[in-house]
Amino acid sequence: MPSDGPVLSVLDAQVLEGVAGGESTVQLASRLYLSRQGIEYRVGQMLRRFDAPNRPALVARAPALGMFAVGQWPPRVLPEREK
C-alpha cells in the first residue's frame, strides 16, 4: 500500500465517490443506508482532512492527491487508497 497519499475507509471512499459524482446528501444517505447527519459528518471529516473549504474543492483536490482512477466516470477511488 502506498504511503505517499491519503487512505480512506471503504465507506468514506463511497461517500467521496458519491460527492464527486454529484449525489446529494439525501441521495448518498439513502444509497449507503446512513442518516443525512452521518453523511454530513463524513464529508466534514474529509473537508478538514484534505483542507478543502467546500465539496467542489474536495472533489477537485482528490485527483491531485491520487485518489481517483484516471479517465473513469463515475469517479472511483483507487483500491490502494482504501483500507
Instruction: Using alpha carbons, list the distances in angstroms from residue 15 to 1, 62.
Output: 21, 12
- Structure confidence at residue 5 (pLDDT): 74
pLDDT digits (tens, 9 = 90+) for 3-51: 567 899 999 999 999 999 999 999 999 999 999 999 999 999 999 999 9
Sign, CA torsion 45/65/24/74: negative
Identify the CA nearest to 55 among candidates 14, 7, 16, 13: 16
- Structure confidence at residue 69 (pLDDT): 85
pLDDT digits (tens, 9 = 90+) for 40-52: 999 999 999 999 9
This prediction has a pTM of 0.90
- Structure confidence at residue 2 (pLDDT): 46
